[in-house]
A and B are shown apart, each in its own frame.
Chain A
Amino acid sequence: MNDIVYDVIIVGAGPAGLAAALYTSRDRLKTLMLEKLMPGGQITTTDRIENYPGIERIEGPTLIEQMQKQVTNFGAEIKNGSEVTKLEKLKNSQFIIYCDQDKYAARAVILAPGSSYRKLGVPGEEEFRNAGAGVSYCGTCDAPFFRGKHVVSIGGGNTAVEETLHLAKYADKVTMIHRRDEFRASKVLVEELLAKANEPNSNLIIKYNAVAAAIQGKDRVQSVRLKNVKTNKEEDYSCDGVFIFIGMVSNTDFLKGFVELTDRGFIKCDCAYLRTSVPGVFVAGDCRAGAAMQLATAVGDGVVAAMMLKEYYRNPAWWKEPVSDQFSPSGW
């Protein structure tokens, strides 16, 4: 280990982590970001962001490139391919963060590890996924492999709608399976989806009140066992691939035993100053309890965590103080 003690180490370089790093590095705090892959996280897989205030429309990767440039210009260090495996708090209140063979020291930590694809948990899913035989969680990645084929997409949120529309550009036929009788995705997207499905001879079919009970086939996906949740009637529905878009789970496995997590794996915090159960460890973004799971709110979290850092440096006892309307962060 080198002798550098960083003012702050940020775990995860998605929008939350990058926003935090912008504030800390611009405030001349010695900042290190540890990213297990490359900066960006989930947002890099979207090609249309239309709800980030002030920017009419931008692609995920472009926004991330700009955010990254902004933080490194202010002196933040980003280490890619650095998967954090363990964190430790020493008696002198310093933190040691382990990445494979490397370790780093810091005065404080901001956790922004984000989330990954949620699994459906039905028979066939793991098997066909691991065999690369027709189960996918990424439409933008895998749609081109299904040219001329019939695919089933599962889900009803924003990602599901966006990705299903993308699939319909490649596949011969797309059947969207949704467990409710209406969509909860944002209106703009739902309108676009329904317009596409209502086109004459559309290749997009929507099946409401339906869930997938199993994914079936010999060597590769050949059908999905569908169950109607209203009638309980089941049918084998033939298809060549299944795309699953049912949300995300937080990447917090490596934090078990270090900070308190909720039953569903989110990082517990005070939801205002973003303090976790461990003094000196803040949280930001999708992985925290109560997160709104939006790009703009993740960025907001990053800023809050960065601002609160200085309160902690100044007075570590502040950690135990309740959330109060008398409080405002100073020094910014």
Chain B
Amino acid sequence: MEANMTIDIKDETFENEVLKSKVPVLVDFWAPWCGPCIMAAPVLEKIAGEYQGRLKVCKLDVDQARQIAIEHGIMSIPTLNIFKNGQVVDQIVGVTPRYESDLKKKIEPLLE
């Protein structure tokens, strides 16, 4: 597993990294004080590596990028929003018991 395949984003970089991305983007709304968010991190790194070039995986710390989290109505973390052409097309809230399989099921149909 390669480390740091994910991209950290802030309020200012959200538009360029996510909304204007040519490939679908998985945005992880997380925070350092959220145990399940930390636990889920290796799965997201793995997904970022496996789908490199076809899917971007971004991490958005809800304390650092408050505005974006509010705009997206985040009330629970981790929440993963999947963006395609600037629109939210799917969402996964919380860490499901079979997280990796569940994520892949959502991601696969969205890839070209």
Kindly supply a per-residue 1/0 record for chain A positions 23-53, scoring 1 wherever the CB is within 8 Å of any chain B CB and 0 otherwise: 0000000000000111010001100000000
Q: How long is the Cα–Cα vector from A295 to B43 in the complex, in angstroms?
A: 25
Q: Are B101 and A141 in contact (CB under 8 A)?
A: no
With A132-B76, A134-B75, A141-B77 as known contacts, state yes or no: A83 contacts B35, CB within 8 Å.
no
Q: Are B35 and A44 in contact (CB under 8 A)?
A: yes
For B78, list chain A residues within 8 Å (CB): 141
Q: How long is the Cα–Cα vector from A60 to B95 in the complex, in angstroms?
A: 18
For B109, list chain A residues within 8 Å (CB): none
Q: Are B75 and A145 in contact (CB under 8 A)?
A: yes
Q: How long is the Cα–Cα vector from A104 to B79 in the complex, in angstroms?
A: 32
**A283 to chain B: closest CB distance in Å?**
17
Q: Are B73 and A253 in contact (CB under 8 A)?
A: no
Partner of B43, one of A37, A45, A136: A37
**B29 to chain A: closest CB distance in Å?**
9
For B76, list chain A residues within 8 Å (CB): 129, 132, 134-136, 138, 141-142, 145
Kindly supply a per-residue 1/0 record for chain A positions 240-254, scoring 1 wherever the CB is within 8 Å of any chain B CB and 0 otherwise: 010000000001011
Q: Are A36 and B37 in contact (CB under 8 A)?
A: no
Kindly supply a per-residue 1/0 record for chain B positions 87-105, scoring 1 wherever the CB is within 8 Å of any chain A CB and 0 otherwise: 0000101110111110000
Residue of B35, B37, B94, B98 with most partner-chain A CB within 10 A: B35
Q: Are A37 and B42 in contact (CB under 8 A)?
A: yes
Q: How long is the Cα–Cα vector from A85 to B99 in the complex, in angstroms?
A: 12
Kindly supply a per-residue 1/0 record for chain B positions 24-66, scoring 1 wherever the CB is within 8 Å of any chain A CB and 0 otherwise: 0000000101111111111101100000000000000000000
Kindly supply a per-residue 1/0 record for chain A positions 142-153, scoring 1 wherever the CB is within 8 Å of any chain B CB and 0 otherwise: 101110000000
Interface footprint category on A: 35 or more
For A131, list chain B residues within 8 Å (CB): 91, 93
For A61, list chain B residues within 8 Å (CB): 35, 38
Q: Are A83 and B101 in contact (CB under 8 A)?
A: yes
Q: Are A81 and B35 in contact (CB under 8 A)?
A: no
Q: Are A133 and B46 in contact (CB under 8 A)?
A: no
For A133, list chain B residues within 8 Å (CB): 73, 75
Q: How long is the Cα–Cα vector from A145 to B37 in the complex, in angstroms?
A: 15
Q: Are A130 and B99 in contact (CB under 8 A)?
A: no
Count A-B pairs with CB separation below 8 Å: 96
Q: Are A40 and B94 in contact (CB under 8 A)?
A: no
For A294, list chain B residues within 8 Å (CB): none
Q: Are B97 and A116 in contact (CB under 8 A)?
A: yes
Q: Are B75 and A141 in contact (CB under 8 A)?
A: no
Quick check: is B111 within 8 A (CB to CB) of the other chain?
Answer: no
For A220, list chain B residues within 8 Å (CB): 73, 75
Residue on A with the closest CB to B46?
Answer: A81
Q: Are B75 and A45 in contact (CB under 8 A)?
A: no
Quick check: is B110 within 8 A (CB to CB) of the other chain?
Answer: no
Q: Are B101 and A38 in contact (CB under 8 A)?
A: no
Q: How long is the Cα–Cα vector from A116 to B39 in the complex, in angstroms?
A: 13
**B84 to chain A: closest CB distance in Å?**
18
Residue on A with the closest CB to B41?
Answer: A38
Residue on A with the closest CB to B91?
Answer: A132
Quick check: is A100 within 8 A (CB to CB) of the other chain?
Answer: yes
**A100 to chain B: closest CB distance in Å?**
7
Quick check: is B19 within 8 A (CB to CB) of the other chain?
Answer: no
Quick check: is B23 within 8 A (CB to CB) of the other chain?
Answer: no
**A178 to chain B: closest CB distance in Å?**
23
Report 14 cross-chain contacts, Cβ distance below 8 Å, ordered by A residue: A37-B95, A60-B35, A61-B38, A81-B1, A81-B45, A83-B98, A116-B97, A129-B93, A138-B76, A141-B34, A141-B35, A142-B75, A145-B76, A146-B75
Report the 3 A-B pairs with minimum CB-CB distance, sorted nearest first.
A81-B42, A80-B42, A45-B35
> What residues make up the interface of B, taking CB atoms closer than 8 Å to A?
1, 31, 33-43, 45-46, 73-79, 91, 93-95, 97-101
